[in-house]
Structure 1
Amino acid sequence: MESSTSTMDVFWEDPVDQDPANPMNWSVTRKWTIIAAVSFTTFLTPLASSMFAPGVPLVMEEFHSSSTTLATFVVSVYILGFAFGPLIVAPWSEYSGRVIVYNTCNLLFLIFNIASALSPNLAALIVFRFLDGVVGVTPTTIGSGTIADLMPPESRGRAMAFWSLGPLFGPIVGPVAGGFLVEATNWRWVFWVLSIAIQSGVVSTAFFFIVPETDPATILRRKAARLQKETGETAYKSRLDDGIPPKERFVQSLVRPTRMLLFSPIVAAMCVYIAILYGLLYILFTTFTEVFEGQYGFSSGASGLSFLGSGVGMLVGLVYSGTLSDKGIKRKLENKEPLKPEDRLPSYITLPGALSIPVGLFVYGWSTDKHLHWIVPEIGTAITGYGMIVILMAVQTYLVDAFTKHAASAIAACTVLRSLAGGFLPLCGLKLYDRLGLGWGNTLLGFIALGISPIPFMFQVFGERLRKN
């Protein structure tokens, strides 16, 4: 602590790199335990988005509806909740700390899951699914902020890779588990399994004890408040406290994701890029049931296995990008070169990723159009999945490094756009394929992905100049 004429500055104890209260100084085991807990919830909430999908025909039959739009919307409305949730969750976490947001939203996620299981009609189910998405987006939104609190840049790539498993593997594992579960029971048991077996037994309880507060500003603010109470001296103030009144700070936090999206060229371009790719992926997913059940004769339970091709590709991409990203940073540190966020966008990572997405779409589209063996379209989805995770990893790590203090807001802006794309674009996906067919429909999507593929390279070259301006 250092004194000034009007305030008594509260910061980490000297030496800063040895203060046990500083999350950066916690043991490797403790850090990875926290990241594992956050990553598990980041897997669980996207899992709920698609695990319910195989039960939709039973839902429509039970509630006497034949609307294909409602059948699609009852699944995608959860992703729509993902679009609104970050605008509340991210500023709340930057205002009051991360752990209270995690624990509150875990509890609400449990409540809305139970409400979904008990839904008396289709309207109630849609409302509860939406609310489930609003609170379920929490770990996806602020998990990157937790990683930024805990991990130095040279270790951040691996942590981001591990955490990124959830948002991409959840929608893939969900239909596999949900297909067999619905086949054996009914659609309501999807929500009971999430509520009883997973959520109440593991996440809410274990998370409460495993994950402490990691936000430095919140930790130091509480330290200053504790010293004020112990000494009666009101001059103690956190060094990270900008002096803005709490209400005004909350309002600033509330509008920050929107301001970043509208006025930061870096955030805007990267968010639009990811949103388009995410929308293309979800449009692709809408064809899986029709293709693998109708064309290849898979059962309703086994059709969920068609998502595993994407999962395998994503796993390969995760290992590739997570390993090489940190190696590049460590190499620069060893050579005593200055680090910059654009180091997360090297061409040897982003080039294979950006080009793999259209290639995979072309392979999937024309192999299904020509009725080739089912393994060929699976290879196509694996190639697309590989590209998706590589690009998503590079972009998210880049945003975290570029906006470390407000990483949660930057990721929130990205989550909002990609969730809107994932929620609405699939509604027109089937019409696209009805008009163009699987071959030309996926070719169109592939050309869109190819057209926007230069964006990461442009930011590798011009990103630093944009940040400084």
Structure 2
Amino acid sequence: MPSVVYGTPATRKEIIELAAEEGHDADIPTNIGAISNLEKDSSSTRCESAAEKEVGVGVRKEKDLEKNELSVESLSTAETNEDTSELSDPNIVWWDGPTDPQNPMNWSWPKKWGTIMIVSAITFLTPLASSSFAPGIPDIMKEFHSTNSLLEGFMLSVYVLGFAFGPLIIAPMSEIYGRLPVYHTCNVLFIIFTVGAAVSTGMSMFIVFRFLMGCLGGAPLALGGGTIADIIPREKRGTAMAVWMIGPTLGPCVGPIIGGFLTQAKGWRWNFWLVTIVSGTFAIGCAILMRETYAPVILARKAKRLRKETGNLNLISKLQSKLSPKDLFLVSIVRPSKMLFGSAICFFISLYTAVTYAYLYILFTTFTSVYETQYNWSGQIVGLSFTGLGLGATIGQFIFTSYGNQIVNKHIEKGDYKPEHRLIVMIPGGFFMPIGLFWYGWSVQAHTHWIVPILGTGFVGFGMLMTFMPANTYLVDVFTIHAASAMAANTVLRSLAAALIPLSSQRMYAVLGYGWGNSLLGFVSAAMIPIPFLFLKYGEGIRKRSTLKL
């Protein structure tokens, strides 16, 4: 027999959890299979208990996406029977025993951590690049002879617009060709587009290259969690995920601190030359340290090699996808849109996070002018105005990880857990956001000591993290096998909001002033405080009445 098949049957819950971490729906093959592989015709010989008939004859016939009715137990028998039949099929290609060196889970720890560190470094750099040149915005406006306040904000936030669309293409490409070719391609194109931004001779050219930087810069955000899940067992994954999450949390806040000093010393273009140099170094590190980690692609290559060596054209990978490339793109693009506009839960949670994310980029696009005009800070130190957001977000990350898990585990032990319990920890975040906005706005208006508004933005950063993280985990719990599409819908809406809403921020402050301008934002944020309360009380009922189907 050309291959040895081993392993224990994966539960539905394991497949869903790993797929969510990898950023795709659970009907796409992951390292341990796919839910769609369990689909059978109604005339098949699988066990058809009353519970299974209630569910239907496959995941695509679930009664409803939001009702969260399928339990692990309801398909456990089918999963076991399915896996047993596969294990006995000599044409199924799997790993050659539990120590197969081709399996990324069996790599040495130095090799694993080399991969994790390079992916974490890239994940830190690309969000950093989104805001590092913020202190140089006045210089760019002067050099390009522009006084348009809309463009002043858009050339910063257009990068986030790329985050909305790039990963929709990057994710399915990685599932077809593997993670490694996508990383390499995105690294090279990101460097090219960064050079394009550095040598731009006009505003239009600069904005186009910034957008393309954002599209390609979204690659480590879309693929990084999946890479870690490919090589680290679940019980040992916490530290690696924590290191990887530093990038999205601190990158946008550290960038302007570096950019402030660099702009003063070398000019705004050197922010992009620095990113080019560092990303080039990381790209070389990728080429040296990284290997393919995505099990379905590795096994597909193995099956292809064995077909050639043995002449047995019936050999197929155990994780071979039943989805065509066209279907993968439909899953990645069409399904999130249908979920965003067809699900009240997905829409309102996404709206809440979108408003919060837009506020973050309003602050990003205005901090430089605020601290230069109100506190006479020079371009060299104006980047330090971002420290409050960074510290607040970091504290929020630790609080969410600690108390969020405690709350959920308590309800699981009591036996009354439901997805809405994920939103309990979101409640304080809803109060911190408007408090921070009022604090920041009126302290700047009153010319108080510079530390006072920075402390206020610390509250904003804390509230931001306490909104994002519970929202994502809630969407995973509600939509289970289609969790990645729900999170993609959330990402698209919040990125669009972050790119477009800040365009009017300079005009808003000019008309209302910093006090009332930020108070307007605070009032809108305060009006959204009831959302987690409403979902805690009515979320389960909304899910049960839902008619959303794909």
Task: Mark yes or no: TM-score above 0.5.
Answer: yes
Distance in 1 (alpha carbons) for counterparts of 2:462 and 2:293: 32
Distance in 1 (alpha carbons) for counterparts of 2:280 and 2:166: 21
Among 408, 425, 437, which residue is 1:361 paired with? Answer: 437
Output one character per residue of 1:27-47: Cα deviation in whole Å (capped at 9) or x when no partner: 776655544332321221121
Query: Displacement, 1:161?
Result: 4.5
Aligned position for 2:317: 238
C-alpha contact 1:355 1:450 (8 A) present in aligned 2: yes
* Alignment CA distance shift 1:413-1:292 (3 Å): same
Aligned position for 1:129: 210
**Aligned amino acid, residue 200 of structure 1:** G
Among 198, 201, 222, which residue is 1:120 paired with? Answer: 201
C-alpha contact 2:357 2:498 (8 A) present in aligned 1: yes
Aligned position for 1:199: 279
Aligned position for 2:468: 392
Query: Displacement, 1:314?
Result: 1.2
Q: Quick check: 2-11 or 265-274, which moved more?
A: 2-11
Aligned position for 1:371: 447
Query: Displacement, 1:181?
Result: 0.8
Matches within 5 A, 1:377-416: 377-399=453-475, 409-416=485-492
Q: Quick check: 237-246 or 374-383, which moved more?
A: 237-246
Aligned position for 1:83: 164
Q: Quick check: 267-276 or 351-360, which moved more?
A: 267-276
Q: Quick check: 184-193 or 400-409, which moved more?
A: 400-409
Aligned position for 1:304: 383
Equivalent pairs, count? 462
- 2:119 is the counterpart of 1:43: no
Among 329, 348, 367, which residue is 1:288 paired with? Answer: 367
* Alignment CA distance shift 1:55-1:267 (3 Å): same
Query: Displacement, 1:218?
Result: 2.9
Q: Quick check: 295-304 or 219-228, which moved more?
A: 219-228
- More helix by percentage: 1
C-alpha contact 1:161 1:393 (8 A) present in aligned 2: no
C-alpha contact 2:135 2:382 (8 A) present in aligned 1: no
Output one character per residue of 1:86-141: Cα deviation in whole Å (capped at 9) or x when no partner: 22222222333323222211110001111222223222222211211111111223
C-alpha contact 1:90 1:409 (8 A) present in aligned 2: no
Query: Displacement, 1:191?
Result: 1.3
Distance in 1 (alpha carbons) for counterparts of 2:117 and 2:273: 24
- 2:216 is the counterpart of 1:140: no
Measured on the aligned residues, the alpha-carbon RMSD in Å equals: 3.4
Among 203, 221, 244, which residue is 2:300 paired with? Answer: 221
Distance in 2 (alpha carbons) for counterparts of 1:6 and 1:188: 60
Q: Quick check: 401-410 or 48-57, which moved more?
A: 401-410
SS in 1 for 2:505: helix
Among 504, 512, 516, which residue is 1:440 paired with? Answer: 516
Query: Displacement, 1:405?
Result: 6.5
Aligned position for 1:104: 185
Instruction: Give the fraction of aligned pairs with identical amino acids, expressed as a percent.
Output: 49
Query: Displacement, 1:310?
Result: 1.0
Distance in 2 (alpha carbons) for counterparts of 1:97 and 1:457: 42
Distance in 2 (alpha carbons) for counterparts of 1:310 and 1:409: 29
Distance in 2 (alpha carbons) for counterparts of 1:386 and 1:100: 36
**Aligned amino acid, residue 445 of structure 1:** L
Query: With structure 2 as the length reference, what TM-score do the two structures score?
Result: 0.74
Larger Rg: 2
**Aligned amino acid, residue 384 of structure 2:** L
* Alignment CA distance shift 1:290-1:136 (3 Å): same
SS in 2 for 1:286: helix
Q: Quick check: 261-270 or 459-468, which moved more?
A: 459-468
Aligned position for 2:9: none
Aligned position for 1:189: 270
Structure 2 residues not aligned, in runs of 5+: 6-83
Matches within 5 A, 1:428-467: 428-459=504-535
Aligned position for 2:53: none
Aligned position for 2:340: 261
Distance in 1 (alpha carbons) for counterparts of 2:306 and 2:343: 38
